[in-house]
Amino acid sequence: MVFIYAAREEQLVGPIVTRFHEETGISVAVKYGGTAQVTATLLEEGGASTADLFWTRDPGGLGVLSNRLKRLPADILERVPASARSADGRWVGITARVRALVYNPQRVALGELPRSLRELADARWRGRVGWSPTSGPTQAMITFMRHEWGEEETRRWLENLEENGAVKFDGHTSVVAAVNRGEVDVGLVNHYYAHRFKEEHGEDVAVENHHLPEQGPGNLAMISGAGVLQTARNEANAHAFLRYLLSAQAQAYFAHQTFEYPMVEAIPIHEALTPLSEINTPDADMDDLEDLEATLSLLREVGVVP
Protein backbone atom coordinates (compact mmCIF):
# COMPACT_ATOMS: atom_id res chain seq x y z
CA MET A 1 0.00 0.00 0.00
CA VAL A 2 1.10 3.59 -0.66
CA PHE A 3 -0.98 6.68 0.16
CA ILE A 4 -0.33 9.69 -2.07
CA TYR A 5 -1.42 13.29 -1.61
CA ALA A 6 -1.34 14.66 -5.16
CA ALA A 7 -1.63 18.26 -6.30
CA ARG A 8 -2.03 16.93 -9.84
CA GLU A 9 -5.03 16.44 -12.10
CA GLU A 10 -6.47 12.96 -11.74
CA GLN A 11 -7.40 12.65 -15.40
CA LEU A 12 -3.76 13.21 -16.37
CA VAL A 13 -1.82 11.18 -13.82
CA GLY A 14 -4.46 8.62 -12.88
CA PRO A 15 -3.50 6.29 -15.76
CA ILE A 16 0.13 6.09 -14.64
CA VAL A 17 -0.97 5.39 -11.05
CA THR A 18 -3.10 2.53 -12.37
CA ARG A 19 -0.19 1.16 -14.40
CA PHE A 20 2.04 1.20 -11.32
CA HIS A 21 -0.50 -0.86 -9.39
CA GLU A 22 -0.97 -3.32 -12.26
CA GLU A 23 2.76 -3.84 -12.75
CA THR A 24 3.87 -3.99 -9.11
CA GLY A 25 0.80 -5.25 -7.27
CA ILE A 26 1.17 -2.40 -4.78
CA SER A 27 -2.18 -0.84 -3.89
CA VAL A 28 -2.42 2.93 -4.25
CA ALA A 29 -4.77 5.43 -2.62
CA VAL A 30 -4.64 9.02 -3.87
CA LYS A 31 -6.09 12.21 -2.42
CA TYR A 32 -6.23 14.81 -5.21
CA GLY A 33 -6.50 18.58 -4.85
CA GLY A 34 -4.97 21.94 -5.68
CA THR A 35 -1.48 22.82 -4.45
CA ALA A 36 -2.64 25.21 -1.73
CA GLN A 37 -5.35 22.80 -0.58
CA VAL A 38 -3.11 19.72 -0.40
CA THR A 39 -0.25 21.62 1.21
CA ALA A 40 -2.54 23.13 3.83
CA THR A 41 -4.01 19.71 4.58
CA LEU A 42 -0.59 18.18 5.15
CA LEU A 43 0.46 21.07 7.39
CA GLU A 44 -2.74 20.76 9.39
CA GLU A 45 -2.47 16.99 9.76
CA GLY A 46 1.17 17.14 10.79
CA GLY A 47 2.46 13.94 12.33
CA ALA A 48 -0.99 12.38 12.24
CA SER A 49 -1.13 12.40 8.44
CA THR A 50 -1.65 9.08 6.68
CA ALA A 51 0.17 10.35 3.58
CA ASP A 52 3.32 8.54 2.47
CA LEU A 53 4.17 10.70 -0.51
CA PHE A 54 3.48 14.27 -1.66
CA TRP A 55 3.37 14.80 -5.45
CA THR A 56 2.77 18.28 -6.80
CA ARG A 57 2.77 20.17 -10.07
CA ASP A 58 4.13 23.29 -8.35
CA PRO A 59 7.57 23.60 -6.72
CA GLY A 60 6.27 26.07 -4.16
CA GLY A 61 4.45 23.32 -2.31
CA LEU A 62 7.64 21.26 -2.13
CA GLY A 63 9.45 24.20 -0.59
CA VAL A 64 6.74 24.78 1.99
CA LEU A 65 6.83 21.12 3.06
CA SER A 66 10.55 20.48 2.63
CA ASN A 67 11.20 20.21 6.38
CA ARG A 68 8.55 17.47 6.56
CA LEU A 69 10.15 15.37 3.81
CA LYS A 70 12.81 12.68 4.23
CA ARG A 71 16.04 12.51 2.26
CA LEU A 72 15.59 10.22 -0.72
CA PRO A 73 17.88 7.34 -1.70
CA ALA A 74 20.75 8.26 -4.03
CA ASP A 75 19.56 5.95 -6.81
CA ILE A 76 16.33 7.97 -7.06
CA LEU A 77 17.97 11.39 -6.91
CA GLU A 78 20.64 10.52 -9.46
CA ARG A 79 18.09 9.68 -12.13
CA VAL A 80 17.59 13.40 -12.79
CA PRO A 81 19.96 16.36 -13.22
CA ALA A 82 21.05 18.21 -10.09
CA SER A 83 18.89 21.17 -11.14
CA ALA A 84 15.80 18.93 -10.97
CA ARG A 85 16.14 17.87 -7.34
CA SER A 86 16.44 19.67 -4.03
CA ALA A 87 19.91 20.47 -2.80
CA ASP A 88 19.33 18.47 0.38
CA GLY A 89 17.77 15.51 -1.46
CA ARG A 90 14.29 15.83 0.04
CA TRP A 91 12.38 15.90 -3.25
CA VAL A 92 12.97 14.86 -6.84
CA GLY A 93 11.66 16.33 -10.08
CA ILE A 94 9.39 14.16 -12.20
CA THR A 95 8.58 16.52 -15.09
CA ALA A 96 8.87 20.20 -15.97
CA ARG A 97 6.39 22.77 -17.24
CA VAL A 98 7.21 26.16 -18.78
CA ARG A 99 5.17 29.32 -18.49
CA ALA A 100 3.98 30.59 -21.87
CA LEU A 101 1.71 33.16 -23.45
CA VAL A 102 -1.07 31.48 -25.42
CA TYR A 103 -2.47 33.72 -28.17
CA ASN A 104 -5.12 33.77 -30.88
CA PRO A 105 -3.32 34.15 -34.24
CA GLN A 106 -6.56 35.35 -35.85
CA ARG A 107 -6.60 38.36 -33.54
CA VAL A 108 -2.93 39.06 -32.79
CA ALA A 109 -0.10 39.29 -35.32
CA LEU A 110 3.10 37.54 -34.32
CA GLY A 111 5.00 40.84 -34.44
CA GLU A 112 2.50 42.41 -32.03
CA LEU A 113 3.19 39.93 -29.24
CA PRO A 114 5.13 41.20 -26.21
CA ARG A 115 8.77 40.47 -25.60
CA SER A 116 8.31 40.26 -21.82
CA LEU A 117 5.62 40.12 -19.16
CA ARG A 118 6.23 43.76 -18.31
CA GLU A 119 4.59 44.80 -21.59
CA LEU A 120 1.28 43.14 -20.66
CA ALA A 121 0.74 45.91 -18.12
CA ASP A 122 0.73 48.50 -20.95
CA ALA A 123 -2.51 50.23 -21.89
CA ARG A 124 -2.52 48.64 -25.37
CA TRP A 125 -3.34 45.31 -23.73
CA ARG A 126 -6.36 46.68 -21.86
CA GLY A 127 -9.05 44.00 -21.67
CA ARG A 128 -7.07 41.66 -23.92
CA VAL A 129 -5.29 39.50 -21.31
CA GLY A 130 -6.69 36.42 -19.58
CA TRP A 131 -5.19 34.64 -16.59
CA SER A 132 -5.96 32.44 -13.59
CA PRO A 133 -4.44 34.11 -10.50
CA THR A 134 -5.84 31.47 -8.14
CA SER A 135 -3.93 28.64 -9.84
CA GLY A 136 -0.76 27.26 -8.26
CA PRO A 137 1.48 27.72 -11.33
CA THR A 138 0.46 31.38 -11.68
CA GLN A 139 1.20 31.98 -8.00
CA ALA A 140 4.57 30.26 -8.41
CA MET A 141 5.31 32.63 -11.29
CA ILE A 142 4.37 35.64 -9.13
CA THR A 143 6.58 34.29 -6.34
CA PHE A 144 9.51 34.15 -8.75
CA MET A 145 8.59 37.61 -10.03
CA ARG A 146 8.84 38.95 -6.48
CA HIS A 147 12.25 37.30 -6.15
CA GLU A 148 13.52 38.71 -9.47
CA TRP A 149 11.78 42.07 -9.76
CA GLY A 150 11.34 42.92 -6.11
CA GLU A 151 8.15 43.53 -4.15
CA GLU A 152 7.39 47.04 -5.39
CA GLU A 153 7.75 46.39 -9.11
CA THR A 154 5.70 43.20 -8.79
CA ARG A 155 3.00 45.11 -6.92
CA ARG A 156 2.90 47.81 -9.62
CA TRP A 157 2.66 45.18 -12.36
CA LEU A 158 -0.25 43.48 -10.61
CA GLU A 159 -1.99 46.82 -10.02
CA ASN A 160 -1.57 47.80 -13.67
CA LEU A 161 -2.88 44.42 -14.81
CA GLU A 162 -5.95 44.96 -12.60
CA GLU A 163 -6.47 48.51 -13.86
CA ASN A 164 -6.20 47.26 -17.44
CA GLY A 165 -9.06 44.86 -16.81
CA ALA A 166 -7.18 41.59 -17.18
CA VAL A 167 -9.89 38.91 -17.28
CA LYS A 168 -9.76 36.23 -14.57
CA PHE A 169 -10.67 32.61 -15.21
CA ASP A 170 -10.97 29.51 -13.09
CA GLY A 171 -8.03 27.47 -14.34
CA HIS A 172 -5.71 27.47 -17.33
CA THR A 173 -8.00 25.37 -19.55
CA SER A 174 -10.62 28.11 -19.28
CA VAL A 175 -8.01 30.69 -20.25
CA VAL A 176 -7.08 28.75 -23.40
CA ALA A 177 -10.75 28.25 -24.30
CA ALA A 178 -11.38 31.99 -23.94
CA VAL A 179 -8.41 32.78 -26.21
CA ASN A 180 -9.77 30.36 -28.79
CA ARG A 181 -13.22 32.01 -28.64
CA GLY A 182 -11.71 35.47 -29.01
CA GLU A 183 -12.89 36.67 -25.59
CA VAL A 184 -9.29 37.66 -24.87
CA ASP A 185 -6.35 37.85 -27.25
CA VAL A 186 -3.64 36.35 -25.03
CA GLY A 187 -3.47 34.30 -21.85
CA LEU A 188 -0.91 33.40 -19.18
CA VAL A 189 -0.70 29.61 -18.87
CA ASN A 190 1.63 26.63 -18.69
CA HIS A 191 2.84 25.48 -22.09
CA TYR A 192 0.98 22.18 -22.26
CA TYR A 193 -2.55 23.57 -22.03
CA ALA A 194 -2.54 24.71 -25.66
CA HIS A 195 -1.31 21.30 -26.81
CA ARG A 196 -3.96 19.47 -24.80
CA PHE A 197 -6.65 21.80 -26.13
CA LYS A 198 -5.59 21.05 -29.69
CA GLU A 199 -5.55 17.34 -29.01
CA GLU A 200 -9.11 17.51 -27.70
CA HIS A 201 -10.61 20.00 -30.17
CA GLY A 202 -8.49 19.59 -33.30
CA GLU A 203 -5.44 21.29 -34.75
CA ASP A 204 -7.49 24.02 -36.43
CA VAL A 205 -8.34 25.79 -33.16
CA ALA A 206 -7.08 29.37 -32.84
CA VAL A 207 -4.48 28.93 -30.08
CA GLU A 208 -0.69 28.98 -30.25
CA ASN A 209 2.04 29.25 -27.64
CA HIS A 210 4.41 32.22 -27.59
CA HIS A 211 7.63 31.86 -25.64
CA LEU A 212 8.69 35.36 -24.65
CA PRO A 213 12.04 36.42 -26.17
CA GLU A 214 13.23 38.19 -23.03
CA GLN A 215 14.31 36.07 -20.10
CA GLY A 216 12.12 36.42 -17.04
CA PRO A 217 9.16 35.10 -15.03
CA GLY A 218 7.07 34.64 -18.18
CA ASN A 219 9.37 31.82 -19.29
CA LEU A 220 9.77 30.22 -15.88
CA ALA A 221 10.43 26.47 -16.05
CA MET A 222 8.83 24.80 -13.03
CA ILE A 223 9.56 21.38 -11.64
CA SER A 224 6.70 19.00 -10.88
CA GLY A 225 8.18 16.86 -8.14
CA ALA A 226 7.55 14.53 -5.26
CA GLY A 227 8.92 13.63 -1.85
CA VAL A 228 8.32 11.14 0.93
CA LEU A 229 6.87 12.37 4.23
CA GLN A 230 8.91 11.85 7.39
CA THR A 231 5.83 10.22 8.91
CA ALA A 232 5.37 7.78 6.00
CA ARG A 233 4.21 4.36 7.11
CA ASN A 234 4.93 2.78 3.73
CA GLU A 235 8.31 4.29 2.88
CA ALA A 236 9.58 1.39 0.74
CA ASN A 237 6.44 1.47 -1.42
CA ALA A 238 6.71 5.25 -1.75
CA HIS A 239 10.27 4.83 -3.01
CA ALA A 240 9.06 2.17 -5.45
CA PHE A 241 6.47 4.62 -6.77
CA LEU A 242 9.11 7.32 -7.29
CA ARG A 243 11.36 4.88 -9.13
CA TYR A 244 8.41 4.00 -11.35
CA LEU A 245 7.66 7.67 -12.12
CA LEU A 246 11.28 8.05 -13.22
CA SER A 247 11.29 4.88 -15.32
CA ALA A 248 11.55 5.12 -19.11
CA GLN A 249 7.94 3.95 -19.47
CA ALA A 250 6.46 6.56 -17.13
CA GLN A 251 8.65 9.38 -18.44
CA ALA A 252 7.58 8.57 -22.01
CA TYR A 253 3.95 8.65 -20.84
CA PHE A 254 4.37 12.18 -19.46
CA ALA A 255 6.17 13.33 -22.60
CA HIS A 256 3.63 12.00 -25.08
CA GLN A 257 0.34 11.92 -23.17
CA THR A 258 0.50 15.02 -20.98
CA PHE A 259 2.94 17.11 -23.10
CA GLU A 260 5.30 17.70 -20.17
CA TYR A 261 9.09 17.82 -20.31
CA PRO A 262 10.56 14.58 -18.92
CA MET A 263 13.25 14.91 -16.28
CA VAL A 264 15.18 11.78 -17.29
CA GLU A 265 17.45 13.17 -19.97
CA ALA A 266 17.41 10.14 -22.27
CA ILE A 267 13.65 10.46 -22.88
CA PRO A 268 12.76 12.55 -25.97
CA ILE A 269 10.16 15.30 -25.72
CA HIS A 270 6.95 15.37 -27.75
CA GLU A 271 7.58 16.57 -31.30
CA ALA A 272 5.10 19.44 -30.85
CA LEU A 273 7.10 20.98 -27.98
CA THR A 274 9.79 23.61 -28.26
CA PRO A 275 13.03 22.21 -26.82
CA LEU A 276 13.90 23.77 -23.48
CA SER A 277 17.26 24.79 -24.95
CA GLU A 278 15.39 27.09 -27.37
CA ILE A 279 13.33 28.83 -24.65
CA ASN A 280 14.92 31.73 -22.80
CA THR A 281 14.12 30.33 -19.35
CA PRO A 282 15.52 32.16 -16.32
CA ASP A 283 17.91 30.45 -13.93
CA ALA A 284 15.60 29.62 -11.07
CA ASP A 285 16.24 27.84 -7.81
CA MET A 286 13.03 25.98 -7.02
CA ASP A 287 13.62 26.76 -3.34
CA ASP A 288 13.02 30.44 -4.23
CA LEU A 289 9.40 29.56 -5.02
CA GLU A 290 8.41 28.39 -1.55
CA ASP A 291 7.24 31.76 -0.19
CA LEU A 292 3.65 31.28 -1.32
CA GLU A 293 2.07 32.92 1.72
CA ALA A 294 3.70 36.27 0.97
CA THR A 295 2.56 35.97 -2.65
CA LEU A 296 -1.02 35.26 -1.58
CA SER A 297 -0.91 38.22 0.79
CA LEU A 298 0.24 40.50 -2.00
CA LEU A 299 -2.44 39.23 -4.40
CA ARG A 300 -5.10 39.89 -1.74
CA GLU A 301 -3.75 43.35 -0.96
CA VAL A 302 -3.89 44.35 -4.61
CA GLY A 303 -7.37 42.84 -4.94
CA VAL A 304 -6.42 40.19 -7.48
CA VAL A 305 -7.80 37.35 -5.35
CA PRO A 306 -10.36 37.52 -2.52
Domain ranges of the chain: 2-95+223-274, 97-220+288-302
State the Cα–Cα distance between residues 61 and 38, nearest whole angstrom. Answer: 9
Give residue 195's Cα distance to chain centre: 15
What are the DSSP calls for 136-147, one per residue? HHHHHHHHHHHH
Backbone Cα Rg of the chain: 19
Q: Residue 64: pLDDT band by 50, 70, 90 thresholds?
A: confident
**What pLDDT sits at residue 229?**
98
pLDDT in tens, 20-54: 999 999 999 999 998 888 999 999 999 999 999 99
On the CB side of 63, how many CA atoms lie within 13 Å of its CA?
Answer: 17
User: For residue 236, what is the enclosing H or E element?
Assistant: helix 235-245
pTM for this entry? 0.93
Q: What is the pLDDT of residues 185-220, one digit of tens each?
A: 999 999 999 999 999 999 889 999 999 999 999 999
Mean pLDDT of 281-304: 88
Fold of 97-220+288-302: D-Maltodextrin-Binding Protein; domain 2 (3.40.190)
Residue 290 has pLDDT above 80, yes or no: no
User: Is there a shared CATH topology between the 2-95+223-274 domain and the 97-220+288-302 domain?
Assistant: yes
Residue 284, pLDDT > 90, answer: no
Query: With 90 as the cut, is the pLDDT of residue 289 above it?
Result: no
94 contacts 225 by C-beta, under 8 angstroms: yes
112 pLDDT band, cuts 50/70/90, is: very high
Calculated CA dihedral for residues 217, 166, 127, 208, nearest 10 degrees: 50
pLDDT by residue (tens digit) across 233-265? 999 999 999 999 999 999 999 999 999 999 999
| Average pLDDT value over all residues in the chain | 95
CATH number of 2-95+223-274: 3.40.190.10
